[in-house]
Amino acid sequence: MKMSVMALERIEHQTDDFGQKLEGLVAQLMQDMASQNLYGKNVDGYGVIRHMELLISKRLGLRVEIHTTAHTAAILPFYSNRNHIFLNDMIRGQVDIQAQTRLLSMMDKQKGEVNLANATVSGIFSQYNHPLYLNFSRMIRQFEMTAPEITAVMLHELGHAFAACYYSDRTDRTNQVLAAVFRKFTDHNSKDSVEYIYRELSKLSDTVKKEDVDQMVNGPRVVAGLLWFRMVVQVVRNQMSHDKYNETAFEEVADAFASRFGYGKHIALALDRLHLNTPMKSAGMLALCRIVDAMALAVSAGVILSLLAGGGYVMALVLALWNLTIVSLNTEDNLDYTYDELKDRYIRLRSDAVTFLKEPSLPKEAVRETLENIYTLDGVIKETARYKSIYTHIGNFIFSSGKATVSAIEAQKTMEKLASNDLFINAAEFKTLK
């Protein structure tokens, strides 16, 4: 698959009026929904909706079909192979060998292009019609979002679609090698299958064992199938590091996509509305969650002590083991990291805005607007709390795996802060005074 990409892993900052045009259509739809009382109704295919779909296709190369009555906001990206890096481990590679072969052979013949400089896709990436779910009624009535905030949400979802296309490059070389290997694997007339397969797979992973390859080629079909599946998952994973913090990558690049079209501030404000009654945004809810956590722990400890005092050692042991299991399941390495903590998500948006300020040729107006966005994000960050269960804190303290994960995450956060420290903001502020 041909890829036209730059070294950076995300689109450049865009300076065209795509975001403003999209926002204008959103504002028009909001006006029509209010005047015609379309709230809660199916507006799929409505005139303004069709204009949105055409605008997105013309500007980004992404075909979308907007659905307005289901999820608040979601998109089904084009996963160009079953082992795509943004697929959850539980479903990655879950196909039989025949289907896997069919997919790999298709990838041999398909071409697509991703351009990070212009934020466009073409070829096979423009042929897939992405289902884009946007429940405008819910965003307007329930979450009270403004037109810029809804536009930011749309750009975020489009960022998912764009990233899925771009990151197929992560497994492109893998696809080609695995396709060739499997053809050799099924060619029973070849005498050098073991050596060839071992040599090719070694290009992708230094953990490939020759005895495993021999089992695949000469062993029972069941064993061969299991080994092949394991090999596929292993070599694909080796194309990109998968530490805990990187599990947030899909959401982070989607946020960055919105930010680089000038809607970083608005995606943060939209997220604020979506999390309005959560512990991160509500002091009352935060206090309640902490009280409930403490009470649950105190009650468990009290029951265990009572059982011990009454001679119920077996039940006390069972309850203690139950609590230990809960603690171990809540350590940092076992938490769902599909999304960052909300505060960290905002900090990453701020970092992306700071990165924009590093461009020395930015006009004063662009610098001034970016600084205003950063000041808004600073306010949002200040009003956002962190919350983790007391079981997570205990687990991270007593289990080495949780402790190691916390250290790794904090190290990466530190590197991100160093890359976008406030010196760039100070320099930009000075530039606007000249």
Task: Quote the CA–CA distance of 415 and 419 in Å, as a whole number.
Answer: 6
Task: Quote the CA–CA distance of 93 and 30 in Å, as a whole number.
Answer: 42
The pLDDT assigned to 133 comes to 94
> 273 and 143 in contact (C-beta within 8 Å)?
yes
Give, in degrees to the nearest 5, the angle at Cα 247 between 407 and 390. Answer: 55
> 46 and 29 in contact (C-beta within 8 Å)?
yes
Total domains in the chain come to 2
Residue 189: inside a domain: no
Among candidate residues 136, 137, 112, 106, the one with its CA nearest the CA of residue 39: 137
Task: Quote the CA–CA distance of 294 and 34 in Å, as a whole number.
Answer: 46
Across 125-149, average pLDDT: 92
The pLDDT assigned to 337 comes to 59
Provide the token pair at 150. 């809804």
Using 50, 70 and 90 to split pLDDT, how confident is the model at 178?
low
Residue at 210: amino acid letter: K
**Which residue in this structure is represented by tokens 């819910």?**
138
Distance of alpha carbon 97 from its chain centroid, rounded? 28
Task: Quote the CA–CA distance of 335 and 329 in Å, as a whole number.
Answer: 8
Question: DSSP string spanning 52-85?
Answer: HHHHHHHHH--EEEEE-SS-SEEE----SSTT-T
Q: Which residues of 51-88 are buried (b: 16+ CB within 10 A; e: fewer)?
A: bbbebbeebbbbbbebbbeeebbebebbbbbbbbbbbe
> 22 and 150 in contact (C-beta within 8 Å)?
no
Pick from 138, 168, 198: which residue ends a domain? 168
> 340 and 412 in contact (C-beta within 8 Å)?
no
Backbone angles phi, psi at 220, to 5 degrees: -60, 150
Q: Which of 256-265, 294-303, 408-417 has the lowest mean pLDDT?
A: 408-417
Q: Using one digit for the tens of pLDDT, what is the confidence trace for 361-405?
A: 778 888 888 888 889 989 989 999 988 888 888 888 888 887 777
The pLDDT assigned to 261 comes to 93
Task: Quote the CA–CA distance of 175 and 209 in Å, as a whole number.
Answer: 20
Residue 234: inside a domain: no
Cβ neighbours of residue 383 closer than 8 Å, sequence gap 6 or more: 281
Across 154-161, average pLDDT: 93
Provide the token pair at 431. 């530039």
Q: Which of 116-120, 166-170, 251-255 has the lowest mean pLDDT?
A: 166-170
Do 26 and 155 lie in one domain? The reply is yes
Do 163 and 291 lie in one domain? The reply is no
Please say if the pLDDT value at position 343 is more than 60: yes
Using 50, 70 and 90 to split pLDDT, how confident is the model at 183?
low
Among candidate residues 151, 141, 155, 135, the one with its CA nearest the CA of residue 28: 151
Over the chain, what is the mean pLDDT? Answer: 78
Residue 90: inside a domain: no
Cβ neighbours of residue 25 closer than 8 Å, sequence gap 6 or more: 48, 51, 52, 55
Report CA dihedral (415, 418, 422, 428) to the nearest 10 degrees. -110
Highest mean pLDDT among 14-18, 50-54, 237-241: 50-54
Q: Output 329 or 414, whichever has higher pLDDT.
A: 329
* H helix or E strand, kind and range, residue 129: strand 129-134
Residue 182: inside a domain: no
Highest mean pLDDT among 52-66, 174-188, 232-246: 52-66
Residue 120: inside a domain: yes
The pLDDT assigned to 171 comes to 46
Across 21-35, average pLDDT: 96
Among candidate residues 199, 193, 230, 241, the one with its CA nearest the CA of residue 214: 193
Please say if the pLDDT value at position 211 is more than 90: no
The neighbouring-strand residues paired with 131 are 65
Pick from 168, 194, 216: which residue ends a domain? 168
> 275 and 281 in contact (C-beta within 8 Å)?
yes
| Cβ-based burial of 254 (10 A; exposed 0-12, middle 13-18, buried ≥19) | buried
Task: Quote the CA–CA distance of 229 and 51 in Å, as a whole number.
Answer: 44
Do 160 and 292 lie in one domain? The reply is no
Q: Output 94 or 25, whichever has higher pLDDT.
A: 25
Q: Using one digit for the tens of pLDDT, what is the confidence trace for 316-338?
A: 898 889 888 888 888 877 766 55
Across 79-106, average pLDDT: 51
Residue 25: inside a domain: yes
Do 152 and 279 lie in one domain? The reply is no
Report CA dihedral (297, 298, 299, 305) to the nearest 10 degrees. 110
The pLDDT assigned to 138 comes to 95
Do 159 and 281 lie in one domain? The reply is no
Residue at 370: amino acid letter: T
Please say if the pLDDT value at position 85 is more than 80: no
Give, in degrees to the nearest 5, the angle at Cα 167 between 165 and 171. Answer: 110
Range of the domain at 316: 275-433
* End-to-end Cα, the chain, rounded Å: 49
Q: What percent of the chain has pLDDT over 90?
A: 27
Across 68-97, average pLDDT: 66
Residue at 118: amino acid letter: N
Task: Quote the CA–CA distance of 263 and 19 in Å, as a whole number.
Answer: 8
The pLDDT assigned to 242 comes to 39
Please say if the pLDDT value at position 97 is more than 50: no
Pick from 130, 148, 168: which residue ends a domain? 168
Highest mean pLDDT among 165-174, 280-289, 422-431: 280-289
Do 429 and 281 lie in one domain? The reply is yes
Residue 269: inside a domain: no
> 72 and 145 in contact (C-beta within 8 Å)?
no
Please say if the pLDDT value at position 35 is more than 60: yes
Please say if the pLDDT value at position 6 is more than 80: no
The pLDDT assigned to 150 comes to 97
Across 63-89, average pLDDT: 77
Using 50, 70 and 90 to split pLDDT, how confident is the model at 77?
confident
Across 261-278, average pLDDT: 91
Residue 339: inside a domain: yes
Do 156 and 279 lie in one domain? The reply is no
Task: Quote the CA–CA distance of 179 and 407 in Å, as a whole number.
Answer: 39
Q: Output 99 or 64, whichever has higher pLDDT.
A: 64
Task: Quote the CA–CA distance of 305 and 296 in Å, as a whole number.
Answer: 14
